[in-house]
Structure 1
Amino acid sequence: MGLFRKIIYSFLLFLLISHIGLSSAFAVTGEHPVLIISSYNPDARQTSGNIYDFMEEFERLGGKAPIALENMNCKSFSEAPLWKNKMEELLAKYQGKRSPVLLVLIGQEAWTAYLSQADSIRGNVPVLAALASRNAIILPDDSVDLKTWMPDAVDFFHDFPNSSVKAGFVYEYDVEANINLIKKLYPKTRNIAFVSDNSYGGVSLQAHVVEEMKKHPELNLILLDGRTNTIYTISDKLHELPPNTALLLGTWRVDMYDGYFMRNATYTMMEAAGDVPTFSITSVGIGYWAVGGVIPSYRALGKDMAHQAVRLLQGPDSDRVEVEVIPNKIQMDSKIVKDKRLDLSSIHQPIEMVNETPSFYEQYKYHIWTVGTVLVVLLSGLFVSLYFYYHTKKLKDELQESESALREAKDRAEESSRLKSAFLANMSHEIRTPLNAIVGFSDVLASGGTSVDEQQGYVDIIKTNSDLLLRLINDILDVSRLEADRVTFTIEKCDVVPLCQQVLASVSQARKSENEFIFECDRESVDLRTDTQRLQQVIINLLSNADKFTRNGKITLKLEVDDEKRVATFSVSDTGTGIPLEKQKQVFERFEKLNEYVQGTGLGLSICKLTVEKWGGEIWVDSGYTDGARFVFTHPFEIEQPNK
């Protein structure tokens, strides 16, 4: 089976596990299936991957029994009393002709729900367990207050010697090894603060830690329990930890309100813990926070589970109990060890380091790949260019055979040259003016001999022309993107009345204008679905344009709404010089300026026209207005993303 098929299959399996509740994920096509009961905890992707590997390997090894998949849909520890009944219902569902030949338990919740059943309910069906810990707790009944309940830890091997569990893989969280590691690296430690969350894994791990810490009466145990805390109260308590305290991380996904948290929660704790030495018993925090820890060697177990399942169903030694304990390893963060200057010489076991300084290739492999890719692209471009060169030469030779075709090509070339020359002329004219000012006054400043006030004046001139040059480049880019349909609108609901008032105030203040700016609208609120930044850009361009051609006059921004047509109409009127009737259509052309002596790029109105048309509106000059100039544009109540 190909990799792509495997990925799709795993994804579909994950969706099934996530959404089917207690329904069967796979129809049982025959009698006596292999029954898989999954806990469905927040590690659903890991669970689905192991289930897929199990099913694929089981089929490859010749497993004949059909497979049924059930999901307990376990979440936080707050619903723990329900799990026992869920497991009992599932076991009762598969009785008689549907009784399973093998029961596969995946996850700690399914594991403990099974162990909490009476012997008569568990029956004699062989059990294979995985993704669980040998250290567990027995589920309480409904009368127990789960927030204050302190359960006793049980050990599968010691407390369930006659269990039907014949095979599987369990983790062993070694509290003793982690305490010894802490004492070796921080011998002054007097307190151990243990963090656990409001999940079954957190509560069972806390019970195991409480039991193991009885071996260390010299250490004070501080429990930071997610059943009675949120990430915020935990953070407050981390701030108040006494001196000589080491932090031991268990699990943190669910808080007292059943809210799910992932790595962002541990980052919040990390900020609160400050310089508190932090270790992990489950790998949580290793790689970015914890110094290290003795943790299980986590790995994919699906295929190994399939081998054990086939052995139980077919092998001559099917009665042999073969529950494998996943070995532990010491894992340390190389960067933190170096930063804190920790001496690891007292640790005589092998240490797996993370965050080590990579080799030159590992450190710069993306750069190397990038350079290699660029070289490949350049060579490819060279060959493509050569191909097109010879192809073009061939076409040219063919065109020379036809006088009419050659003349047509010549005309097109002349037209292209004319358009290019016109564009360059406009660009040269617009860019040269601010550049001349920048260069000229920079030379004056460099030559010295001027007073501080004069120097400040020259700096202001240079800054003004630099801003003008930057606006020109930005306007050219805007026009290019708009004409190439490469604009993406960020559409959101917006009340445009306060937006207009804010824009009006901003333009008045920014331009230090002597004109009076007025806003008119007969409504207190007008909601549109629009791209706020683009709408502001259009209004600002029109107001700035009006301000340039008006002296000591009035500039009015007016907003009118037509509910029947579902259109808002904006207008900007001024009492300035106005626009001749014959030139009113030309003002929207690129680089069109009616007065060459007025500062500006000649692109603002062109950008306005392109933007308004993109959202389905219209823009025009009101020819009936004679007190100056009035620009009007429309905006639908709701606009859609322009098609590219």
Structure 2
Amino acid sequence: MGLFRKITYSFLLFLLVSLFGLSPTFAVTGEHPVLIISSYNPDARQTSGNIYDFMEEFERLGGKAPIALENMNCKSFSESPLWKSKMKEILDKYQGKRAPVLLVLIGQEAWAAYLSQEDSVRGNIPVLTALASRNAIILPDDSVDLKTWMPDAVDFFDNYADSSIKAGFVYEYDVEANVNLIKKLYPDTRNVAFISDNSYGGVSLQAHVVAEMKKHPELNLILLDGRTNTIYTISDKLHELPPNTAVLLGTWRVDMYDGYFMRNATYTMMEAAGDIPTFSITSVGIGYWAVGGINPAYRPLGKDMARQAVRLLQGPDSDRVEVEVIPNKVMMDSKIVKEQKLDLSFIHQPIEMVNETPSFYEQYKYHIWTVGTILVVLLTGLFVSLYFYYHTKKLKDELEDSESALREAKDRAEESSRLKSAFLANMSHEIRTPLNAIVGFSDVLASGGSSEDEQQGYVDIIKTNSDLLLRLINDILDVSRLEADRVTFTFENCDVVPLCQRVLASVSQARKSENEFIFECDRESMDMRTDTQRLQQVIINLLSNADKFTRNGKITLKLEVDENKRVAIFSVSDTGTGIPLEKQKLVFERFEKLNEYVQGTGLGLSICKLTVEKWGGEIWVDPGYTDGARFMFTHPLDIEQPKK
């Protein structure tokens, strides 16, 4: 909304002044206003924009005084004798209750017209100025020939420091710095042609250049004055300039016939100047003609003026003079500098380069951003798609694994149910057989009538079947405790060679077997830490199992040591019926019996497997042995802590 108001106000101001030639007064009803006097620079947008910014910021900062606006409607320098009287007329309008509390001067002409007034006219009203140069000329009398008049330049800080001007912003056109720049870049220069137009700014700038060039007597100053020339005559003179001449641009808007020319005039001069090195003291021509120049750093001043105005009206330091000189900057045409290979290393301040070829990124940054954004979106979409694809695939794999696990669990459950049924059937048979013998022969003993030898035979039968029943129950309890991890091993140092020999002898005697029991070991003794009872149990189970399936054969217990793996290797080999290759892994399962007609529960090998794994070993059937069956298991040599 603020931008719309600004554009609207500037447009109306421009229309009132340029179309109707009015000198309007925009004033808020009230006494003692802030009086703005504008000399009307032809660049109306700059003037009106600064005025609007001033009014908006002044109100925002709490300025209470009404604002009145007067326009002097200054044009060419030919009207300059009238400006002094115009200024006096405006000041006379604001007397008594209408006397302004602050006077704001905008533009070179208003500035000069005010400085040309008598002290009695200027009075003691505080003044704020802007869009003016510190170097000015005092307006001439009516009797002066304006076309040939060569005024002396005056400096505000040297000549008017004690005036009522308390604040503002002024430009400083640094002729000395620009001449030194010309001499550094073009040391053969002998002439400087200065171009200025038929405006107050052009004449005052020419007076300033004339004064400054006296510091360089080695250079000849050629004045191309718009008061006595048109664009065409100046173009002719540019053709006729002597060798080793450099052009210094001032301003060019108004010619000797008061005709207005904007940039098209400087283009015409540029065509006439040819290859003459051209510099600008005001930024005119930079970017399409001039090599460069040292110019004021022009900027909008309306808001800064408002802040100074509020300070002058309300601040405790309102009496302080604060006229700020706008700093200068170095501007150079990058294209010309590169074409002429000019060395700028002597310039020790920042340089603003115009016509600089932008980098590839600067030229196509919006295209790059667009393509980059599209790529980011596409890549993001790709990554999101891949994420969901792999996430979906992972879920699918997990579902398949779950389905496979469920099938496996179902199969295991069915197998477990089958084994349980088989186990119950087998147990009922295994338990019933010794129980029948115990009950039957107990009844026979109880009935009497038997001889002493017969009674002793019955007792032996009852004892044998009682031992069988007890062993059966112990096996079931061992499996349950091992699977529930409720068995604690007690490890101690033990010489396993004599232990194996004793176990072999006891099994041979207990089984009353017709098989030959053999022990093989290349050591006479071997100490290691083990649970003696559990180790004996495993060996006894394997030897008893081998004896059960062997008739009139050999059963060999062998002990070896693998120093690399640090394990003892036990093996029990027989010359019995053997085990089919496809069933060798099944023999360690619970309740598994390869021959249903052989006495036993099918728990012995399962107990062996659980026990061996408990102490950290492995047990397996040797698939390469074909003379019967060979069971092998390992026992670590280095057991520091017992496993629970």
Relative to structure 1, the CA distance from residue 408 to residue 460 in structure 2 (aligned partners, 3 Å threshold; closer, same or farther) is: closer
Relative to structure 1, the CA distance from residue 413 to residue 542 in structure 2 (aligned partners, 3 Å threshold; closer, same or farther) is: closer
Relative to structure 1, the CA distance from residue 265 to residue 63 in structure 2 (aligned partners, 3 Å threshold; closer, same or farther) is: same
> What stretches of structure 2 of length at least 5 have no aligned partner?
none
CA–CA separation in structure 1 for the residues paired with 2:11 and 2:132: 23
- Deviation at 1:369? 8.5
Q: Deviations over 1:182-229 (max 9, x none)?
A: 111011111000000000000000000000001110000000000000
Once structures 1 and 2 are overlaid, which stretch shifts more, 532-541 or 120-129?
Answer: 532-541
- Deviation at 1:147? 0.5
Relative to structure 1, the CA distance from residue 333 to residue 447 in structure 2 (aligned partners, 3 Å threshold; closer, same or farther) is: farther
CA–CA separation in structure 1 for the residues paired with 2:313 and 2:417: 83
The answer as to whether partners of 1:399 and 1:405 remain within 8 angstroms in 2 is no
- Deviation at 1:4? 2.7
CA–CA separation in structure 2 for the residues paired with 1:11 and 1:470: 118
The answer as to whether partners of 1:24 and 1:68 remain within 8 angstroms in 2 is no
Relative to structure 1, the CA distance from residue 638 to residue 387 in structure 2 (aligned partners, 3 Å threshold; closer, same or farther) is: same
Using the size of structure 2 for normalisation, the TM-score is 0.57
> What stretches of structure 1 of length at least 5 have no aligned partner?
none
Relative to structure 1, the CA distance from residue 422 to residue 554 in structure 2 (aligned partners, 3 Å threshold; closer, same or farther) is: closer
CA–CA separation in structure 1 for the residues paired with 2:412 and 2:196: 76
- Deviation at 1:26? 1.4
CA–CA separation in structure 1 for the residues paired with 2:630 and 2:304: 78
Q: Deviations over 1:223-261 (max 9, x none)?
A: 000000000000000001101101000000000011100
Relative to structure 1, the CA distance from residue 410 to residue 382 in structure 2 (aligned partners, 3 Å threshold; closer, same or farther) is: farther
Once structures 1 and 2 are overlaid, which stretch shifts more, 546-555 or 358-367?
Answer: 546-555
SS in 2 for 1:401: helix
- Deviation at 1:16? 3.5
Relative to structure 1, the CA distance from residue 403 to residue 365 in structure 2 (aligned partners, 3 Å threshold; closer, same or farther) is: same
Relative to structure 1, the CA distance from residue 240 to residue 91 in structure 2 (aligned partners, 3 Å threshold; closer, same or farther) is: same
Relative to structure 1, the CA distance from residue 465 to residue 36 in structure 2 (aligned partners, 3 Å threshold; closer, same or farther) is: farther
CA–CA separation in structure 2 for the residues paired with 1:185 and 1:334: 14
CA–CA separation in structure 2 for the residues paired with 1:470 and 1:156: 128
- Deviation at 1:348? 2.0
Relative to structure 1, the CA distance from residue 422 to residue 505 in structure 2 (aligned partners, 3 Å threshold; closer, same or farther) is: closer
The answer as to whether partners of 2:419 and 2:591 remain within 8 angstroms in 1 is no
Instruction: Report the counterpart of residue 397 of structure 1 in structure 2.
Output: 397
Instruction: Report the counterpart of residue 97 of structure 1 in structure 2.
Output: 97
SS in 2 for 1:129: strand
Q: Deviations over 1:13-61 (max 9, x none)?
A: 3333435645434133000000000011211110000000000000000
- Deviation at 1:345? 1.4
Structure of higher CA gyration radius: 2
- Deviation at 1:68? 0.4
CA–CA separation in structure 2 for the residues paired with 1:309 and 1:52: 14
SS in 2 for 1:215: coil
Q: Deviations over 1:283-333 (max 9, x none)?
A: 000011101001000000000000000000000110100000000111111
The answer as to whether partners of 1:555 and 1:572 remain within 8 angstroms in 2 is yes
- Deviation at 1:566? 127
Aligned identity (percent) is: 91
Find out whether 1:452 has 2:452 as its counterpart.
yes
- Deviation at 1:497? 140
Relative to structure 1, the CA distance from residue 275 to residue 463 in structure 2 (aligned partners, 3 Å threshold; closer, same or farther) is: farther
C-alpha RMSD of the superposition: 36.4
The answer as to whether partners of 1:21 and 1:72 remain within 8 angstroms in 2 is no
Once structures 1 and 2 are overlaid, which stretch shifts more, 224-233 or 396-405?
Answer: 396-405
CA–CA separation in structure 1 for the residues paired with 2:113 and 2:446: 83
Relative to structure 1, the CA distance from residue 405 to residue 603 in structure 2 (aligned partners, 3 Å threshold; closer, same or farther) is: closer
- Deviation at 1:97? 0.7
- Deviation at 1:412? 73
CA–CA separation in structure 1 for the residues paired with 2:216 and 2:453: 76
- Deviation at 1:9? 2.8
Q: Deviations over 1:361-400 (max 9, x none)?
A: 4313566689899999999999999999999999999999
CA–CA separation in structure 1 for the residues paired with 2:237 and 2:501: 47
- Deviation at 1:90? 0.3
The answer as to whether partners of 1:22 and 1:72 remain within 8 angstroms in 2 is no
Instruction: Report the counterpart of residue 631 of structure 2 in structure 1.
Output: 631
- Deviation at 1:353? 1.0
Once structures 1 and 2 are overlaid, which stretch shifts more, 574-583 or 157-166?
Answer: 574-583
Q: Deviations over 1:422-448 (max 9, x none)?
A: 999999999999999999999999999
Relative to structure 1, the CA distance from residue 273 to residue 404 in structure 2 (aligned partners, 3 Å threshold; closer, same or farther) is: farther
Relative to structure 1, the CA distance from residue 402 to residue 357 in structure 2 (aligned partners, 3 Å threshold; closer, same or farther) is: same
CA–CA separation in structure 2 for the residues paired with 1:238 and 1:448: 159
CA–CA separation in structure 2 for the residues paired with 1:40 and 1:463: 137
Once structures 1 and 2 are overlaid, which stretch shifts more, 473-482 or 240-249?
Answer: 473-482
CA–CA separation in structure 2 for the residues paired with 1:577 and 1:66: 125
Q: Deviations over 1:146-182 (max 9, x none)?
A: 0000000000110112211000000000000001111
CA–CA separation in structure 2 for the residues paired with 1:585 and 1:338: 89
CA–CA separation in structure 2 for the residues paired with 1:21 and 1:451: 160
- Deviation at 1:624? 126
Using the size of structure 1 for normalisation, the TM-score is 0.57
Once structures 1 and 2 are overlaid, which stretch shifts more, 283-292 or 624-633?
Answer: 624-633
The answer as to whether partners of 1:615 and 1:640 remain within 8 angstroms in 2 is no
Relative to structure 1, the CA distance from residue 598 to residue 199 in structure 2 (aligned partners, 3 Å threshold; closer, same or farther) is: farther
- Deviation at 1:2? 3.4
- Deviation at 1:581? 113
Find out whether 1:567 has 2:567 as its counterpart.
yes
Relative to structure 1, the CA distance from residue 402 to residue 577 in structure 2 (aligned partners, 3 Å threshold; closer, same or farther) is: closer
Relative to structure 1, the CA distance from residue 585 to residue 124 in structure 2 (aligned partners, 3 Å threshold; closer, same or farther) is: farther
CA–CA separation in structure 2 for the residues paired with 1:37 and 1:513: 137
The answer as to whether partners of 2:107 and 2:132 remain within 8 angstroms in 1 is yes
The answer as to whether partners of 2:34 and 2:103 remain within 8 angstroms in 1 is yes
Once structures 1 and 2 are overlaid, which stretch shifts more, 612-621 or 398-407?
Answer: 612-621
Instruction: Report the counterpart of residue 59 of structure 1 in structure 2.
Output: 59
CA–CA separation in structure 2 for the residues paired with 1:518 and 1:308: 119
Find out whether 1:293 has 2:293 as its counterpart.
yes
The answer as to whether partners of 1:22 and 1:70 remain within 8 angstroms in 2 is no
The answer as to whether partners of 2:196 and 2:250 remain within 8 angstroms in 1 is yes
CA–CA separation in structure 2 for the residues paired with 1:349 and 1:37: 37
Aligned residues: 644
Q: Deviations over 1:127-148 (max 9, x none)?
A: 0000000000000011111000
CA–CA separation in structure 2 for the residues paired with 1:525 and 1:230: 129
